[in-house]
Structure formats: structure tokens, C-alpha cells
Amino acid sequence: MKIGQQLNIVVYACTALTLVTLLITVELFYKQNQIQNRLDSIVAVHSQIDSLRGRLWLYRQYPSAQTRQDAHQSVKALRAQLSSDQHAIPRQSVQSITQAANNVGRLLDITADQFGANQTVDEGRLMLFSRFNVLLQAMSEAAFSVRQQVMHESSRQQKMLLVVHGGILVILALLVTVFVTSLRRRLTHRLKALHATISQIKKGDLTSELILTDKDELTELADHVNEMKQVLSHTMVDKNQLSEEVARQTQQLREQQHQLKFLAEHDELTGLFNRRAFESHVDVALMRANRAHTNAALLFIDLNNFKQVNDTYGHGIGDELLKVVSLRLKQALRRSDLVGRLGGDEFIVWLDLLTDKEALNEVITRIQDEMHAPITIDNIELSLAISIGVSCFPTDGLELQQMMNQADSAMYYAKTHPGERCCLYSNLPATQIK
């Protein structure tokens, strides 16, 4: 049997035990309520008998029509009480008390003539009142007997209910306890076996096999553990092989990290710095130049006829042209210089550690010579013209964004004036300087 099914049985058994307990409690409450109602009825009859006894005593002490009428009213009230409580008092007892009450009524009628004529107490009247006392005593004894009978019956019923219901509860509780204890013992045994097998696997023992007889969820788990041990036994390697594999994967991760870092900082097509990486490196170069009080320059370079090449020969030739331009730019620059691609056909260059403008002009001339040389791609000979805008540090600007805006303005001026292939921001007309 599956463990889930066994646990369901435990839940159902506990639910049944709870319901039985609830039903027994309700039944006991109902029985107790019935007995209490019967006792209350008997007490009410006792009260009426006592009330009649008091009325008769007043009638004896103060014989009059009023006291006799009060006694009659008590007799009627007693008969009414007996009539309303017939379900609570045995029929024989009701008849006995009712007959005694009727006799009291008839005796009251007899005493009416005697007390009306002569108010003196004689032996005959004493006999009548003695008869009253006998009847009252008989009614009291009958009521008391009924009360004793009800209490005895109540005690007997309670004992029987306690024995029967208690026995049922004990049997159900024992069955649930035995079943849960058996389930606990089986689960504990299987869990210990699983724990021992897992401990063996941790120690490297893959030869032993876990066997559980019962077909349940833990048996299925044991089968999976055995399968896992078989798979592990075929895939285990020694420490040297494991170390080599760890070292290989570590090296592979490092290479991937370097590659990701390179891709994050470089243009995918040309391999040059992208805008973000270029600005980050130039910020460091600017701080270094500011501390060392050295000169530097920022160049904006634009390919004038790049769109015509794309439209004429296609984007594939255009991409190859951008790669050639990137390679020639790196060849024309020094190791201390930085070059990046802003996007499309726009490139940006940082020239560091310039001694004077002569050194700047030499680098610009070298760039122009490289770019103006013929370019052959797939047997297609291309000629290239570029426009360069230059912003100098520290004469034109002290911050990167300011110098980039200045170089962009100078490059735009050179591009719109065919005779000016290279323009310094400081050489712009006064109307163009911001």
C-alpha cells in the first residue's frame, strides 16, 4: 500500500473518531437533558403538593370559605401539573397522585357543611384532617418514589452509555494507535535504510544496493537511488581527471569573461573602442594630462563618400571598407593614442603626449596619407576622402564633452568647405566658435 494511502487512512480514522466522539457527546447531552426535565417536573409536582399541604394547614387553623377555596385551587393546580407532565412521570404514579388529589377535593366538599354550621373542632373533623394528612403523605411518597426511580434509571443509563461509548472510543483509539505505530515503524526502518545508503554514496561506495520489499513511494525512491548509483559508477573520474576538468572549465570561463569584456568595450565590426569605452579611457587620459601639464588633442573623422559606396556596391563592401579604415587608423597612430568608432562612418581619435602643434600636424598628415591611399576590395578599387575636426587640450577645452562638441563643429566645417579637409576648432571663423 502506498504511503499516501496509509496516511489517508489515518486521516479518515481520526475523522471518524472525532465524529463518534461528537455523536456520543451529543447523545449524552440529550439524555442528561431528558433526565433533568423529568426531575424538574417531579420537583414541580412536589412543590404543588407542598403548596396544597400549606393551604390545608391554613384551612384547619382558620376554617372559612376563602381558605377552603384556596385549598381547592391548589388541588386543581396539582391536577393540571400532573396532566402536563404525564410524559415525565410514570402513568401509574400519575394516576395514584391524581386519585389522592381527587379524594382531597371530595373531603374538602364534605368539610364545607360541617364548618359552615358549627365552627368548633370535634373528633369527626380531626378524623377528616387526619385523612388529609394521610392523602398528602401518600402523594409525597409517590412523588418521592418517582424521583428515586428517575435518578436510579438515570444512573443506570449513564453507566451503560459510558461503558458502550467508552468502549467504542477505546477500540477506535486502539485501532488508530496500532495502525499509526505500525506505519511509523515501517517508515522509520525505510528512512534509516535510505539514510545509510546516502551516507555510503557520500563516502564513495557505489557497489551496495538498497532493497525495500513493500511497494510504496519509498521503494520507488530506493529504485531511483540504485539507478543513480549505477550512473555514478559509470561516470566517476579520479582526482587528477577531475582537477584537469576543473582547470579546463576555469580557463574556459576566464576566456569567456575576457571575450565578454572585449565585446562590451569594442565595436563588433571594427574592433575599435565603442563610445562608452572610448570616453572612459579618455577621462583617465585627461586627468593624467591635467596633472602632468601636457598637450593633447581630440580628432573627429568622417568618411565623405561612404554613403555613395554603400549605395553603389552594397553594405557588404561598405563594412569591409570600415574595417580597412579602422586598420589604417591604428597603423597611423602611436601606442599611446586612442581610437574609437562612434557609429556609421564616424571615428574619434585621442592624441596623447603632444609636444607642440608640429607633432599634431605630423599625426594628421599621416592619417590623411593612409586614408587617401587606394583601397581594393573584391577587385573594386575605391578612393576615400575624409574630413577631420580637431579640438586641442588645454587651449580649446578642459572637459571631454566640451572637446567632443568642439571637434564635431570643426569637422562639420571642414566637411561643408571642400577646400578644408582638416580644421582646428581654434581656426574656425568667429561666428562658428561657441
Confidence of residue 241 (pLDDT cuts 50, 70, 90): low
Predicted local distance difference test score (pLDDT) of residue 283: 93
- Same-domain pairing of 411 and 271: yes
In 205-327, the DSSP E strands lie at: 295-303
- CA proximity to 394, closest of 431, 363, 425, 429: 425
Predicted local distance difference test score (pLDDT) of residue 218: 65
pLDDT tens digit string along 49-91? 888 788 878 877 777 788 878 878 888 887 787 777 666 677 7
pLDDT tens digit string along 211-232? 766 666 667 677 777 777 677 6
Rounded Cα–Cα distance for residues 188 and 191 (Å): 5
- Same-domain pairing of 132 and 10: yes
Which of 179, 197, 218 is the C-terminal boundary of a domain?
A: 179
* Cα Rg, the chain, nearest whole Å: 59
- Same-domain pairing of 270 and 160: no
- Same-domain pairing of 276 and 165: no
Per DSSP, 380 falls in state E
Confidence of residue 117 (pLDDT cuts 50, 70, 90): very low
Q: Which residues contact 20 (CB under 8 A, 6 or more apart)?
A: 168, 169, 172
Which of 145, 163, 179 is the C-terminal boundary of a domain?
A: 179
| Mean pLDDT of the chain, nearest integer | 81
Phi and psi based region of residue 343 (left: phi greater than 0; alpha: psi -120 to 50; beta: remaining): left
Q: State yes or no: pLDDT of 234 exceeds 70.
A: no
* CATH code of the domain in which 377 resides: 3.30.70.270
Predicted local distance difference test score (pLDDT) of residue 413: 92
- Same-domain pairing of 160 and 269: no
In-domain check, residue 248: no
| C-alpha cell at position 174 | 486502539
pLDDT tens digit string along 280-325? 999 999 999 999 999 999 999 999 888 898 888 999 999 999 999 9
- Same-domain pairing of 60 and 162: yes
Rounded Cα–Cα distance for residues 386 and 345 (Å): 10
195 vs 380 pLDDT, higher one? 380
Which of 128, 154, 179 is the C-terminal boundary of a domain?
A: 179
In-domain check, residue 210: no
In-domain check, residue 184: no
- CA proximity to 231, closest of 253, 252, 206: 206
- Same-domain pairing of 34 and 167: yes
Q: Which residues contact 338 (CB under 8 A, 6 or more apart)?
A: 273, 278, 281, 282, 285, 349, 350, 352
- Same-domain pairing of 167 and 36: yes
For residue 105, give Cα distances in angstroms to 63, 68, 261: 15, 10, 120
Rounded Cα–Cα distance for residues 130 and 395 (Å): 145
Predicted local distance difference test score (pLDDT) of residue 233: 67
pLDDT tens digit string along 136-164? 887 888 778 777 887 887 778 778 878 88
**Kind of pairing between the strands at 386-393 and 380-382:** unpaired
- CA proximity to 340, closest of 289, 415, 267: 267
Spatial strand order in the sheet of 386-393: 338-343, 346-354, 295-303, 386-393, 422-424
SS3 content of the chain, % helix, strand, coil (to 5): 70, 10, 20
Q: Which residues contact 43 (CB under 8 A, 6 or more apart)?
A: 147
- Same-domain pairing of 171 and 38: yes
Q: State yes or no: pLDDT of 273 exceeds 60.
A: yes
Predicted local distance difference test score (pLDDT) of residue 433: 67
Predicted local distance difference test score (pLDDT) of residue 392: 94
Q: Which residues contact 344 (CB under 8 A, 6 or more apart)?
A: 306
Rounded Cα–Cα distance for residues 78 and 188 (Å): 72
Give the number of other Cβ atoms within 10 Å of residue 58's Cβ: 15
In-domain check, residue 421: yes
Predicted local distance difference test score (pLDDT) of residue 412: 93
Confidence of residue 131 (pLDDT cuts 50, 70, 90): confident
Three-class secondary structure of residue 37 per DSSP: helix
Predicted local distance difference test score (pLDDT) of residue 331: 92
Predicted local distance difference test score (pLDDT) of residue 275: 92
In-domain check, residue 402: yes
Predicted local distance difference test score (pLDDT) of residue 280: 93
The domain tally of the chain equals 2
- Same-domain pairing of 20 and 129: yes
Neighbouring-strand partners of residue 411: none
Neighbouring-strand partners of residue 339: 349
In-domain check, residue 209: no
386 vs 239 pLDDT, higher one? 386
- Same-domain pairing of 162 and 286: no
In-domain check, residue 315: yes
- Same-domain pairing of 11 and 109: yes
In-domain check, residue 255: no
- CA proximity to 157, closest of 32, 20, 37: 32
171 vs 116 pLDDT, higher one? 171
Predicted local distance difference test score (pLDDT) of residue 1: 65
Q: What's the domain range around 292?
A: 265-427
**Kind of pairing between the strands at 386-393 and 422-424:** parallel
pLDDT tens digit string along 330-384? 999 988 899 999 988 999 999 988 888 899 999 999 999 998 888 888 888 888 8
Confidence of residue 205 (pLDDT cuts 50, 70, 90): low
* CATH code of the domain in which 27 resides: 1.20.120
Rounded Cα–Cα distance for residues 113 and 229 (Å): 116
Average pLDDT in the 265-275 region? 90
179 vs 403 pLDDT, higher one? 403
pLDDT tens digit string along 388-427? 999 999 998 889 999 999 999 999 999 888 777 899 998 8
